A = this chain, B = another copy of it.
């Protein structure tokens, strides 16, 4: 019945990603973190100079979308914003943030192990390389029909998340 869908790489990819995301979101929910939030915690651990813009660039989260995300983390007492200069501010983990990061790390690591365990050994090692081949190469959006894009990096469409 759904075989028409099952062998379609695009559909399988979408669906697997969704199932994965839902499950990971559920698990991270137990420590009151969203996926994107956990990604940030994992990323800035050990750093004291990561700016919001930089985090956004790495995780492919728009500058604008970083704001409410960081606000939530700050309100939860997990991160702290410390001015670097008048314009930038470093985002760094608080004590509570480090503890939470630890939990998040345990959850995502365990999750990924569960994930890989579901895949037959013969296929297992090929998954990540295959996926990596798919993500980076935005296959030439020709023009975007903008014409200028003077400032603002003209990045692509992806996003963030740990997992």
Contact = CB atoms under 8 A, between A and B. Distances in A.
Interface string A59-97: 110000000000000000000000000000000000000
B163 A10 contact: yes
Nearest to A42: B4
A1 B60 CA distance: 13
Interface SS majority for chain A: helix
Q: What is the interface residue range for chain A against chain B?
A: 35 or more
Given A139-B23, A157-B19, A8 B123 contact: no
A156 B123 CA distance: 24
Nearest to A161: B14
Contact of A130 (B2, B19, B127): B127
Contacts of A159: 14-15, 18
A65 B146 CA distance: 33
A123 B115 contact: no
A10 B108 contact: yes
Contacts of A163: 8-11, 13-14
Nearest to A134: B16
Nearest to A159: B18
A12 to B, nearest CB: 4
8 contacts: A6-B132, A10-B163, A13-B13, A13-B131, A16-B17, A21-B157, A123-B133, A124-B130
